[in-house]
Amino acid sequence: MPISRFYYPPAFFLGLSLCLSCLAAPTPSQAEEEVELPWTMHVYFENDLFTGTDRNYTNGVKISLISPDLVSFVKSGKLPKWSLEYIYRLPFINDPDPTLKHKVEFSIGQNMYTPADTSCSELIDTDRPYAGWTYGAVAFHTRSSERMDTIELQLGLVGPQSYAKEAQNMVHDLRDLPRANGWEHQLKNEPGLAAIYERKWQIDPFFSRGDFAMDAITHLGCSLGNVATYANTGFETRLGWNLPDDFGVSLIRPAGNTGFSAHQQPGGYLFAAVNGRAVLRDIFLDGNTFADSYSISKKPFVADLAGGAALYLKQYKLTWTQVLRTKEFVGQSDSHSFGSLIFSFFF
């Protein structure tokens, strides 16, 4: 029966169907198929406690769930017929290249930003504003052996309804740390929307000796929205054993997720990376879009210099990254450093 003759619920239920289908227990006959069609989960934690500070971008958490290859998943018969119309409407899904893989990603996260002096209860007009950003995101990844395209849509809230103040207070109370006293000066409530595109290229290893190799990944992208509008580019180089068939390490940033190979042999690598942004708008420095709020003059160009290590065994991967971020606003005393831990696994 043609697809158009079915009645289809709203597109929202496509994501719900994908999530629910991953919870179904596989039968013995499905065991081999489950290996071929794994889900991926990333759990991110970023904080400047790794460098002993509590300022600027001070904390970020994110959980992402990435589907198996959608076309293969449809062919497996696990998705209801009504979802097919929405899958085949996704960008790049009808590309004739048979080597392309298509995945959808669902994420939730929260970022926190504070000035350097969190003991002061008065407005500090020479430092960045207090701000929180709590959001959900949907992304669509299309990849071949050499490149990956990502389209992502983020929707969330900036301001008191982000509950960043409450989250930070809870963590500080648990760790017996002083609370920040200036959250009453945070940005006002504002819905945030961002549309992001990024392309990544995987460069073949330019050094290889057995299982030991060195390769590189480059990327180019942009974001448009009231939360952040910018263009970005950068690269990463990796040196190690059994390098994974993915597109590198990523911090908590739009369109940054890459997944990793379900059939990866045990191994690990060291890496170094840089990401530069030409910033047109940053709500966490420019202030609210639709209401009067405190703001500070941002710098138009910002770079992240990163280095770290990744280890993987069977379906698990652990990545540690240390980041140095250049000054983001006029009057900032120095660059900012923070650490990142990512725990990834298949199921």
Question: Which pLDDT tens digit goes with each residue over 263-299?
Answer: 568 899 999 999 999 999 999 999 999 889 999 999 9
Task: For residue 122, give every residue at least 6 positions away whose Cβ sits within 8 Å of its Cβ, in sequence order, or none.
Answer: 182
Share of the chain above pLDDT 90, in %: 58
Does residue 72 belong to any structural domain of this protein?
A: yes
What pLDDT score was predicted for residue 261?
Answer: 60
Does residue 3 belong to any structural domain of this protein?
A: no
Residue 231: other Cβ atoms inside 10 A = 14
Which residue type does 29 have?
S
Does residue 32 belong to any structural domain of this protein?
A: no
Give the total number of structural domains in the chain.
1
Alpha helices in 155-233 (DSSP H): 164-174
- CATH number where 56 lies: 2.40.128.140
What pLDDT score was predicted for residue 86?
Answer: 66
* pLDDT per residue as tens digits for the range 231-248: 999 999 999 999 888 888
Cut 0.75: pTM above it: yes
* pLDDT per residue as tens digits for the range 27-58: 334 334 444 558 889 999 999 888 888 899 99
Give the CA diameter of the chain.
Answer: 67
Cα 146 from Cα 211, distance rounded (Å): 20
311, 318 Cβ separation under 8 angstroms: yes
Q: Please, which contacts does 212-216 make with residues 24 or more away whose CB atoms are closer than 8 Å? A: 212/240, 212/241, 213/239, 213/240, 213/243, 214/238, 214/239, 215/243
Does residue 280 belong to any structural domain of this protein?
A: yes
Owning domain of residue 153: 40-346
E-assigned strand segments in 172-315: 190-209, 212-225, 228-241, 267-282, 301-313
Does residue 5 belong to any structural domain of this protein?
A: no
Does residue 338 belong to any structural domain of this protein?
A: yes
Does residue 16 belong to any structural domain of this protein?
A: no
Does residue 142 belong to any structural domain of this protein?
A: yes
Residue 336 has φ and ψ, to the nearest 5°, of -120, 140
